[in-house]
A and B are shown apart, each in its own frame.
Chain A
Amino acid sequence: MIVCVAVVGHQNNPLYIQSFTDADDALKLHHIVHCSLDVIEERVNNPKKSGTTLNEAFLGLLYPTVNYKVYGYLTNTKVKFILVTTDLDVRDTDVRSFFRKFHAAYVDAVSNPFHVPGKKITSRTFAQTVSNIVGSYGLN
């Protein structure tokens, strides 16, 4: 199941982070998200080494831990989307599809003229949409 999703700004400032677990492991998930930023940096700066296409938005599996798999997505505006899941046999196509919907929801949120780019996303509609997307994947 999806246990955490996060949106991180181009200066690595957290714009939105949401956990989807009952347990009190939010801090651990925040730490996992934080660690994934270094991996994204490495992927983007050294595309030859990492084997990712230079201009591919979907960064694929960033790193697996014992209990989690962390996936990344980088938009044109250098905003990073991070997904943490407990499913260890997730298909790439499902994750791509999730990120596409997540990106669309993010675009809707930042298109609000009262949203200040680079500031935290406080939109309740966005939070609800993200919850719906997570729920619709049956991974939650």
Chain B
Amino acid sequence: MIGVGKMKQYSNVLDKPLSKGKQEVSLTAFAFLFSELVQYNQTQVDNIAELERRLEDAGYAVGSRVLELLCNREKGNRRETRLLGILSFVHSTVWKVLFGKVADSLEKGTEHEDEYMISEKELLVNRFISIPKDMGTFNCGAFVAGIVKGVLDNAGFPAVVTAHFVPIEGQQRPRTTILIKFADEVLKREARLSQ
């Protein structure tokens, strides 16, 4: 989990509590590493779409491993077979482990049956990032979209996952929405299981 607060300092090793407490990674260290990841990928691509795809691929590898790890650790050895079950698993369990808190909201798309949205007021990976004007709609949240796609694909819920900025009135920074569009086979299976 990427930590938001500072860890308490102990002058004496004997003062440290025995319990491990929260296993947190320094947010600054993560931001630096993520910055390097973006910069490295920038040197390897010609356009924004390709850069987003590379970030998504990096996230995908994380997502597939996170799913395996959390299902062993958190889910009491139960397989997720329902759509809302896996979405709430991503929205709560996965988000909490990765970002230290549950995602701000999980909504169903109003226009399409197969679309769901996870919204974050300030996505952790975007915290110290401001996009240059010439990069248009580029969103580093593509990395998180990749993580979500990795979790869903490997759990048997193939989907196209994208990250978008949504401007909010009266606020300088837009909120980030992770848009999940499930494959037809997922909806058909869900309908069959609902009977």
Interface residues, chain A, CB within 8 Å of chain B? 54-58, 74-78, 100, 103-104, 106-107, 110-111, 113, 117
In the complex, the answer to whether A77 meets B154 with C-beta atoms within 8 Å is: yes
Interface residues, chain B, CB within 8 Å of chain A? 61, 64-65, 67-69, 71-72, 75, 77-81, 154-156
Q: What is the distance, in angstroms, from A72's C-beta to the closest C-beta of chain B?
A: 13
Residue of A nearest to B193 (CB): A54
Beyond contacts A57-B77, A77-B68, A106-B68: 4 other A-B pairs, Cβ-Cβ < 8 A, are: A57-B71, A74-B79, A107-B68, A117-B61
Q: Which of B64, B72, B79, B154 contacts A55 (CB 8 A)?
A: B79
Residue of B nearest to A117 (CB): B64
In the complex, the answer to whether B64 meets A57 with C-beta atoms within 8 Å is: no
In the complex, the answer to whether B80 meets A78 with C-beta atoms within 8 Å is: no
In the complex, the answer to whether B65 meets A76 with C-beta atoms within 8 Å is: no
The answer for the CA separation of A107 and B155 in the assembled complex, in Å, is 15
The answer for the CA separation of A106 and B67 in the assembled complex, in Å, is 13
Q: What is the distance, in angstroms, from A74's C-beta to the closest C-beta of chain B?
A: 6
Residue of B nearest to A47 (CB): B81
In the complex, the answer to whether B77 meets A58 with C-beta atoms within 8 Å is: yes
The answer for the CA separation of A57 and B81 in the assembled complex, in Å, is 11
The answer for the CA separation of A54 and B156 in the assembled complex, in Å, is 14
Q: With A110-B65, A117-B64 as given contacts, are A75 and B71 in contact (CB-CB < 8 Å)?
A: yes
The answer for the CA separation of A110 and B68 in the assembled complex, in Å, is 8
In the complex, the answer to whether B77 meets A111 with C-beta atoms within 8 Å is: no
In the complex, the answer to whether A100 meets B65 with C-beta atoms within 8 Å is: no
Q: With A103-B72, A104-B72, A110-B68 as given contacts, are A77 and B77 in contact (CB-CB < 8 Å)?
A: no
Interface centre among B65, B69, B79 (most CB of A within 10 A): B79
Q: What is the distance, in angstroms, from B4's C-beta to the closest C-beta of chain A?
A: 24
Contact residues in A for B64 (Cβ distance below 8 Å): 77, 117
Contact residues in B for A57 (Cβ distance below 8 Å): 71, 77-79
In the complex, the answer to whether A76 meets B155 with C-beta atoms within 8 Å is: yes
Q: With A76-B67, A110-B68 as given contacts, are A54 and B77 in contact (CB-CB < 8 Å)?
A: no
